[in-house]
Structure 1
Amino acid sequence: MSVKTIGLIHTSATLVPVFQALTNEYLPGIQTFNIVDDSLIKNVIKRGELTPDTARRVVDYVGSAEAAGADFILVTCSSIGAAVEAAAALTQVPVLRVDQPMADKAVQIGKKIGVIATLPTTLGPTSDLVRRRAVVAGQEIELTSVLCEGAFDALMKGDTATHDTMVATALKDLSTRVDVIVLAQASMARVVDTLDASDKKVPILASPTIAIQHLAAQFS
């Protein structure tokens, strides 16, 4: 049996070691390669939305990953999710947006679902995805979307303490109002680890681990 290869497409170099550690843990024996272009997310943030020209570049990267020999392609940025779904229809191998397995899990856990983000460009696509996956699952849900305004700017300035405090406060508040929380950005996951057990009143889902566990199930 030939060794399977996963192509990972990132909009931040900081996610490469995160996903490398996860694939090492859950997908031993699987080969991986990375395509990184942070101009994609910078363009989305600058324009406030995923524009057609940026979406076309995402589709091109997915095509490049297929041409490079990927048996499965995972795109690790939620903000470009719509382009990932478009690319999947044009590709001969499976293509997954990182937050879909997380959205599916949230829909299974509870009716009241909270989505939290530090970027409006991520909050919209992830909220939309959760709604659509609920329809696919035949579940009725109540969605609460929360934007931590200013947290992303703090992170970009290197002020991780302010970012983490703002996200933690929002998480604590949201956990009193919903059955499950979805983190729209993987960068928020480390804040969850700093919360006291008493503050984690409901499951808080982050996409990287859930996505790789989903892939592990596909390859088993």
Structure 2
Amino acid sequence: MTRAGLVLLHTSPVHVPVFDALRDRHHPGAVLHHLVEPELLERARTEGPRAVAPALLAVLASAPAAAGPAPVLVTCSTIGATAESLAPELGVPVLRVDRPMAAAAVRTGARIAVLAALESTLAPTAELLAEEAEAGERRVSVRTHLVAGAWERFEAGDTGGYLARVAAAADAVTGADVIVLAQASMAGAAGLTTSPVPVLSSPAPGLAAGLRLTSASR
């Protein structure tokens, strides 16, 4: 029988090896079940994140069945809030991967710069940071930056070029206490930056938090 673990919902297949590698490095033995649904992001970009709620609910409701009910980690920042709102209907915890990163960002400093390669990610990330700041009773200012030309590199499979553009954009940020890389796909850029400002990415803290949910739900 398949062991229940953590269900990860991705909107790009590139995330699967990233999270598997993090599991192998930091959480050996953890069970991950990957779902890849690119059309959810495509629709959210054109119709808005709430438009994908019915399809998202259908995907998540059926996915854990083979392994038993399991917590869900959603690695797409654009649809993360919509996914979290479905937790009561699903009956399992649902966590957006960037929430732990956002919580860390508001603890790090008041001036937060957000970098994203997709415009559809900017507003959800800014809203998340405001939510975490309110929860932590902190006052923050958030500036968002769209990394020009980066998403085109990502879609073309030019991972190196994509990460280089993100890193260059991070290095160009001024007047910030912390830089947030809004999309999970940007994580590799954190190691390429030369900025003295802390640069936060979501996969590692998000996976750790998701796996804590699996322990709590046993």
Q: The TM-score by the shorter chain falls in which range?
A: 0.7 to 0.9
Counterparts in 2 of 1:115-194, with a 5 A limit?
Answer: 115-160=114-159, 162-174=161-173, 176-194=174-192
Corresponding letter in the other structure for 1:92: G
Structure 2 contact 181–199 (Cα < 8 Å) conserved: yes
- Aligned residue pairs total 213
Runs of at least 5 residues in structure 1 that lack an aligned partner in the other structure: none
Counterpart of 1:20? Answer: 20
Counterpart of 2:103? Answer: 104
CA-to-aligned-CA distance 1:136-181 (integer Å, 9 cap, x gap): 111110111111122212332344455344322210121x311111
Counterpart of 2:36? Answer: 36
Corresponding letter in the other structure for 1:179: D
Distance in 1 separating the partners of 2:20 and 2:94: 18
Q: Percent identity?
A: 37
Corresponding letter in the other structure for 1:149: A
Structure 2 contact 190–200 (Cα < 8 Å) conserved: no
What secondary structure is seen at the aligned counterpart in 2 of 1:90? helix
Distance in 2 separating the partners of 1:164 and 1:76: 18
TM-score normalised by L of structure 2:
0.88
CA-to-aligned-CA distance 1:94-142 (integer Å, 9 cap, x gap): 1111111111111111111111101001111111111111111111101
Larger RCO (CA within 8 A; separation ≥ 6): 2
Moved more, 64-73 or 132-141: 64-73
CA-to-aligned-CA distance 1:36-63 (integer Å, 9 cap, x gap): 1111112223x163252x2211122221
Runs of at least 5 residues in structure 2 that lack an aligned partner in the other structure: none
TM-score normalised by L of structure 1:
0.87
Counterpart of 1:210? Answer: 205
Structure 1 contact 9–75 (Cα < 8 Å) conserved: yes
Structure 1 contact 8–34 (Cα < 8 Å) conserved: yes
Corresponding letter in the other structure for 1:188: M
Cα distance change of structure 1 residues 25 and 70 upon mapping to structure 2, 3 Å threshold: farther
Distance in 1 separating the partners of 2:105 and 2:99: 10
Structure 2 contact 10–76 (Cα < 8 Å) conserved: yes
Counterpart of 1:60? Answer: 58
Query: Over the residues paired in the alignment, what is the CA RMSD in angstroms?
Result: 2.2
